[in-house]
Amino acid sequence: MKILHLSDLHFHSDNSKNQDILSTLRNVEKNYPDHIIVITGDIVDDGSEKQYKNARDALKTFDGRVFIAPGNHDFGAIGNFYSREKADRFDEFLSIPLNQGGTFLRENKPVVNVKTDESDIVMFIALDTNLETYHPFDFACGEVGEFQLAELDMLLSNPTVPEMKKVLFFHHHPFMRNDPFMELKDAGELARIIYNRIDVVLFGHKHVMDSWKNRWGVPYMLAADNSPGKTSAGEITIENGALSIDHVKI
């Protein structure tokens, strides 16, 4: 199974401003027809209905093989001003039409999808890391929150789950500290829950591609660029239980 990691698409209302991401997605559709696509948030730029419609129309072609998590821009203007109405649109326009198997704002549990190919069973676990308060300093940074953490812990304790490879993904960067607009406040609690229990962690938010090996007891952790206009993306290969990462042209 091959997985392509995209992030921070920032769809605008005016499709003439979406040409870079639309062209990237056309290339992905043509060149990677069987890849699973994981998108780690900021799918739209400020949560307007038109932006969500543009994103849904562009992503619908990947239905069944695209998995998404929300970012701060999906839930509010300039990524700083949380709006419950905009947050709810993420589920209405993306999670439900793209058959994510769960909702983010509405249920707020980890959204889980399992994909199988000849050699592997892979569980995709998406988290909503938006700290949903109305204060701009709170909202721009992230938090998994007690409820989602407890649900994640319970999910990973299920006896059938250890047999699968597990890809965990979310928007906020877990290694940033002391930055009121970026940090994931409960990164330490998340690290304790996933230690030695997850195979790959994917995230975005900072718009800088990077990768880490064997941090938090996780073999691979990958940060993605903002995908519009970029020429490469992270690719994860899972084959007969073996993991590898690469960067491929998009």
Q: Which residues form the interface with Fe ion (CB under 5 A)?
A: 42, 71-72, 205
User: Least CB distance from residue 1 to Fe ion, whole Å?
Assistant: 27
DSSP of 90-155, one letter per residue? IIIIIITTTT-SS-STTT-SPEEEEEE-SS-EEEEEE---B---SSHHHHHSB---HHHHHHHHHH
Residue 245's DSSP bridge partners are 236
Q: Which of 243, 205, 239, 244 is nearest to 225 (CA)?
A: 205
With contact defined as beta carbons under 8 Å apart, do 125 and 115 qualify?
Answer: no
**Least distance CB 129 / Fe ion (angstroms):** 10
**Amino acid letter, residue 119:** S
Shortest distance (Å) from residue 72 CB to Fe ion? 5
Q: Which is nearer to Fe ion, 138 or 153 (CB)?
A: 138
Residue with CB nearest Fe ion?
205
If you ran DSSP here, which 8-state letter would residue 213 be given? Answer: E
Rg (alpha carbons) of the chain, rounded to whole number: 16
- Cβ closer to Fe ion: 42 or 91? 42
Alpha carbon distance 82, 208 (integer Å): 24
* Token pair listed for 74: 């999906």
**CB-nearer residue toward Fe ion: 29 or 138:** 138
Shortest Å, Cβ 87 to Fe ion: 14
Q: Which is nearer to Fe ion, 71 or 76 (CB)?
A: 71
Closer residue to Fe ion, CB minimum distance, 76 or 110: 76
CB 44 to Fe ion: min, Å: 11
Nearer Cβ to Fe ion (71/145): 71
* Cα–Cα distance measured from residue 33 to residue 12, given in angstroms and rounded to the nearest whole number: 25
Query: What token pair was written down for 45?
Result: 């730029």
| Shortest spacing between CB 163 and Fe ion, in angstroms | 34
C-alpha 39/C-alpha 203 separation (Å) is 8
